[in-house]
Amino acid sequence: MVLFTDTVIVVLTVSVILAALWMTYNLLSVAYAMYLVRQEERQEQLQKQQSLENAKRTKDHFRGLALEALKTPEVQNLYNALRSVPYIDSKEKEARAQNNKRKKLQAQLRKVVQDGNVRNALYDMAK
């Protein structure tokens, strides 16, 4: 009877130890997975922030080039004309006429300013 009781106690002890090890392993694997997810989120946030900074730096660069282009009288005249003819999102006849006039001004600006990024900066400034 003592041998049976000792065997049961040993078996139960080993079972409890194995269960504790298995639960510890699962807990550590979940914690590691959470760590990887958080690290990936931090990396994505950092990349997003760097991307926004690069976009802002690029936008500022082309805005500076656009300001330099505005020093020429021809570009200045076209820019002022674009500012006076805003785009209208409508299907009415007057709106279409104004948008056609704006398209013609943009075509003239395309002939004068070759770089599309500088033209886009000018369009943004003319809004």
Helix 73-84 vs helix 93-112: angle between axes, to the nearest 10 degrees?
A: 160
pLDDT tens per residue across span 64-95 = 999 999 999 999 999 999 999 888 888 888 88
Q: Give kind and range of the element (H or E) at residue 80.
A: helix 73-84
Q: How far is CA 105 from CA 9, 75, 97, in A?
A: 93, 11, 13
pLDDT, averaged in runs of 10, over the chain (127 residues):
88 96 98 98 97 96 95 94 86 88 92 93 89
Q: Domains in the chain: how many in total?
A: 1
Average pLDDT, the chain: 93
pTM confidence score: 0.65
Domain that holds residue 62: 2-126
